[in-house]
Chain A
């Protein structure tokens, strides 16, 4: 018998998490200049389409198939095309259909890939991004999801971080945020800085979009964290409340740092603080008390507000701060479990500050660093191979003209209310070719 309450919550949560990727597109899209807003959003929508397909074909099987050795990888063939997963295998005492879990985990894979795009704003060929997404999901995300999310049960053998190491990562501080953050850093290094980085003003072109995006991310994140309980129960409720307070505290933490350092509390700071808090509480939301969540949150907000300045000091162009927010926030949240975990929480483990010693702390550190190193090295290799073969960066001229125009043949905004900016008459193939030639001659 399917437990209808649990199943309804998992399916709802999956839809909530799916909405996070379009939310991320808005969050990122508002932060770039007007000439690249569409490309920024397209990287998220491209990942949404592509990773969904890969997940159904072999991604789920690589992450949640039986382990092929040492907890490193699931068997890609076992559930290829989700074979054998359509029949109702729920047990007598309840549970949820495995397809609900397949859907819920699919949207995690999608957003992890989409998160990386923030590091390479304005300058990546769309086709190369899609190739990168497919390869990265296959050899980085699917294995790491296996390490972190695949628990052993009965005959089934899962991944090494979840089972052998027993690091706690409730909803993906390692698999999602450290993973995407380290990948963002590697890719920013491979692609290099945008033209004019550190010299030209690259102001966010639409902060209301950023605020809408942050709102949608927060909304969807309740599915991400509370949904990770995989049941409509007490654990989900604790995760929900911790997700609320940690995020609120992080927003205040970020704004406070800005007020003291820069003299103004900004809306971009509020939106960024929201995301920093959400990132940090993601691994910890079922392992800490609400007060613990608050402390983790406020530190996350302040820490990330300081960390986003690193790129100017160290000279890498992580355009939208995937490193400063997701890597730093993910590391902090994952390691903070070692300090703030409370045995009263659903995870039932005590951290250092609750008399549990360093036992949980070292597990958290090892898990975090393992994902960081694996993701950074493999991403650097994938990125470099793409750069050297099909090319990853657009030309200088195209970058200055604006990637929306050149790569997608669109403009994000048309505010002109007077006159005509062209004709809508459909061109024949030949006329179109002639127009192109004229354009070239003129150029």
Chain B
């Protein structure tokens, strides 16, 4: 099993969610996060005083999928989240040792 984690621009969340639903992903977790990459932060001006804000808001999407689906899921996220502009985010895949459905106690791929 694989955990696909994607950091994307907040306004792309709906597109990514729809794309994942289309390829049959059954569930995902979303959190609002902050950080910076090559895009760095942005500046804000209050009464003429400029402030450098280091962290920009992003959305983190996490999906646990079977090993076979991982590549398709990554492609779907990348396609849906891409604008071609700096700051589009990252997607990475990690291996999961175990997964349990809390309600039934099912384990492994059955729990997905």
**B48 contacts which chain A residues (CB < 8 A)?**
258, 261-262, 305-306, 308-309
Interface residues of A (CB under 8 A from B): 201, 203-204, 258, 261-264, 266, 268-269, 272, 305-306, 308-309, 312, 321, 324
| Complex Cα gap A258–B46 (Å) | 10
Partner of B47, one of A201, A263, A264, A268: A268
Chain A residues with CB below 8 A from B46, complex form = 203-204, 266, 268
- Docked complex Cα distance between A309 and B44 (Å): 15
Identify the B interface with A (CB < 8 A): 44-53
- 17 extra interface residue pairs, beta carbon distance < 8 Å, beyond A305-B47, A309-B48, A309-B49: A201-B51, A203-B44, A204-B46, A258-B45, A258-B48, A261-B48, A262-B50, A263-B45, A266-B45, A266-B46, A272-B47, A305-B48, A306-B48, A309-B47, A312-B49, A321-B47, A324-B47
| A308 to B52 CA separation, bound complex (whole angstroms) | 19
Q: Which of B44, B47, B51, B53 contacts A308 (CB 8 A)?
A: B47
Total CB contacts across the A-B interface at under 8 A:
32
C-alpha spacing A201/B54, complex, angstroms: 10
Q: How far is the CA of A281 from the CA of B45 in the complex (A)?
A: 27
Smallest CB-CB separation from A257: which chain B residue? Answer: B48
Q: How far is the CA of A269 from the CA of B44 in the complex (A)?
A: 13
Question: Shortest distance in angstroms between A255's beta carbon and chain B's nearest beta carbon?
Answer: 12
| A254 (CB) vs chain B CBs: closest residue | B47
Q: Name the distance in Å between B52's Cβ and chain A's nearest Cβ.
A: 7
What residues on A are CB-neighbors of B45 within 8 Å? Answer: 258, 262-264, 266
Chain A residues closer than 8 Å to B53, beta-carbon distance = 201
B51 is contacted by which of A203, A305, A324 (Cβ under 8 Å)? A203
Q: Can you spell out 17 A-B residue pairs with CB atoms less than 8 angstroms apart?
A: A201-B52, A204-B46, A258-B45, A258-B48, A261-B48, A262-B45, A262-B48, A263-B45, A266-B45, A268-B46, A305-B48, A308-B47, A309-B47, A309-B48, A309-B49, A321-B47, A324-B47
Complex alpha-carbon distance, A308 and B45, angstroms = 13
Nearest residue, chain A, Cβ from B52: A201
Q: List the B residue with the shortest CB-CB distance to A305.
A: B48
Tell me the nearest residue of chain A to B49, going by C-beta: A312
A309 to B47, CA, bound (A): 8
Most buried by A among B44, B48, B51, B52: B48
Report the minimal beta-carbon distance from A277 to chain B, rounded to whole angstroms: 15
User: For A201, what are the chain B residues with a Cβ–Cβ distance below 8 Å?
Assistant: 51-53
Q: Complex: how many Å from CA A268 to CA B49?
A: 12
A258–B45 Cα distance when bound, in Å, is 9
CA A262 to CA B50, docked complex, whole Å: 9
Measured between C-beta atoms, what is the minimum distance from B45 to chain A in Å? 5
Chain A residues, CB < 8 A from B51: 201, 203
Query: Which 10 pairs, one residue from A and one from B, show the smallest C-beta to C-beta distance?
Result: A201-B51, A262-B45, A308-B47, A309-B48, A268-B46, A203-B51, A204-B46, A308-B48, A268-B47, A203-B46
Give the most central of B44, B47, B50: most A CB within 10 Å: B47
Bound CA–CA A321/B48 (angstroms): 12
